[in-house]
Amino acid sequence: MLPPFAAVYFDCDSTLSTLEGVDELLQWAPAALRRDIAALTEQAMAGLLPLADVYERRLRQLAPRREQLDRVGELYVAHLVPDALLVVQALQLLGKHVGIISGGLLTPVQHVAMHLGVPKENVYAVPLHFDATGAYVDFDRRSPLWRNGGKIEVVQTLPKDHQPLAFVGDGITDAETQGHVACFVGFGGVIARPQVRARADVFVTSKSLAGVLPHVLTASERTQLAADPRFAPLLSRAEP
């Protein structure tokens, strides 16, 4: 489906931020575990292993503490993809709903949302449970986002005024939304995965998130941005 879209939602890891949040938790893990977890993450994102199997195993082995999640959130924000903030602001200027749907951990993703001005009610990720000392207990198994197909479930429950929806992401769980959203934009600016390119309605290789804009805006919406000195430069950075 061609624009206009009522909403644009984004994945977080390797889409809004250049980081993979779970990998950042590895800084507190032994070297051997770091190698194993990093390999598992990439296999899950490439669709070579079921996400549910990888998700539970990673968190059980890492057992992150509550304060570590805030540190990962700070790292997310420090490593935002170029133009992430301006793209979100431009979409909101045009009256579009902007949200985040991530298989990552809720607390770090909320740091990104707060920095970008994304309303908290439009943020979906996996909460963790901790004991009174801040030690890891479990993840919220009621969330669909820790397994394959979870993002489809979330986009299908979004408010009606967020439809038609464009979704932007880099991984196989993002690509699963193709056919369930009006447009799936594969983002390869951080990692270009062939499996995602093959399934995407359109695929963007620009390092800047501005590369998404030509695919989610109408000609008149682009003209409106071009007339605003805050956002006109974005359009020149919208190509690879």
Output the furthest CA–CA distance in the chain (Å, rounded): 54
The neighbour count for residue 75, using CB atoms within 10 Å, is 17
Residue ranges per domain, the chain?
Answer: 7-236
Sign of CA dihedral 224, 227, 228, 230: positive
φ, ψ dihedrals at 80, nearest 5°: -65, 150
Residues 6 or more apart whose Cβ sits within 8 Å of residue 110: 73, 120, 123, 125
pLDDT in tens, 2-31: 889 999 999 999 999 999 888 888 888 887
What is the pTM (predicted TM-score) of this model? 0.93
Q: Is the pLDDT of residue 171 over 60?
A: yes
pLDDT-derived band at 240 (thresholds 50, 70, 90) equals low
For residues 139-161, give the mean pLDDT: 96
For residues 165-194, give the mean pLDDT: 97
For all residues of the chain together, what is the average pLDDT? Answer: 93
Q: Is the pLDDT of residue 102 over 60?
A: yes
Class of domain 7-236 as given by CATH: alpha beta
Q: Report the distance separating Cα 171 and Cα 79, nearest Å.
A: 18
Q: Which residue has the tokens 């769980």?
A: 173
Q: Is the pLDDT of residue 44 over 80?
A: no
For residues 63-83, give the mean pLDDT: 96
Residue 1 is predicted with a pLDDT of 80
**Which of the residues are catalytic?**
11, 13
